[in-house]
Amino acid sequence: MKIDTYGDPKNPVALLIHGIFYPGVTSYRSILPILEKKYYIIVPNLDGLSYPKTDFVSARKQGERIVEWLKENNINHIHFLLGSSFGSSVAFEILKDVSLNIDKAALDSPALKESKLHGMILYFEMKKTAKDFRKNGINAFKHFDKYRYFDNFDKEYCLKVYNTMDDKTLKELAFSCYKYRLPSELYRDDTEIKFIFGEKDKSKANLPEVKELKSGEIKIVEGMSHLQYMFEKPTEFLHECGVL
């Protein structure tokens, strides 16, 4: 797993874990310049969602590899953990590791549900996206409103990621988003946890499970769709996460 870092290693640690449609640091262009002023930022490139191509592994395995890297680099205290979309499943696995001290965590548009139907729907959406990218290249971004935040550099990276994905990886990724069974309780008394949903976000399908968990505050942002709050109002988003 490739790990990107930004900022001064002497600063408190912010660990940011991306989702499917915004691979690597492309998820965090809006908040990176703000966080970099006071945090040492760590952005893992999730296996199966990076370039050069890697094989996909489960959220649990992704979390284990990230924790292993943290320990190898003598990092056991995370001030801010952010998981976005599918990355929230990986972040949740990290939250379950009580050997790490974590002050604040935000799970934005979390994917924490067990549902074959939702997995199938996402699989067909991803398959359509990958097909469009392969056929139309950079021009394909005009067909997807969710990529309006990307500059050409990030578009090129996203193209490389999707153009090297085979159908097996697409299917594993899609179904893994909706193959997550939450524990009955999360033992994180010293961690402030916030679950963030856009009012118009499909990920609100995960709300029943999150409410049942009762392990953090739930924020529903009026008028916002998937990850829109972070992209369009980064300062407000980070205030909501409690890190500014």
Calpha distance 230→31 (Å, rounded)? 7
Determine the pLDDT at residue 134. 93
CATH of the domain at 212: 3.40.50.1820
pLDDT at site 181: 83
Domain range enclosing 90: 2-111+184-241
Residue 34 included in any domain: yes
User: Is there a domain that residue 58 lies in?
Assistant: yes
Does residue 170 lie in a domain region?
no
What pLDDT, on the 0 to 100 scale, is given for residue 88? 95
Is position 142 within any domain? no
At 155 the pLDDT is 96
How far is it, in rounded angstroms, from Cα 71 to Cα 74? 5
Q: Which residues are paired to 80 by β-bridges?
A: 14, 104
- pLDDT given for residue 179 in this prediction: 87
Q: Can you give the pLDDT at residue 61?
A: 95
pLDDT under 70 in the chain at which residues? none
What's residue 85's pLDDT?
Answer: 95
* pLDDT at site 98: 87
pLDDT for 3: 97
Cβ neighbour number for residue 52 with a 10 Å cutoff: 8
For residue 166, tell me if it sits in a domain: no
Do residues 51 and 160 touch, judged by C-beta distance below 8 A?
A: yes
How many domains is the chain built from? 1
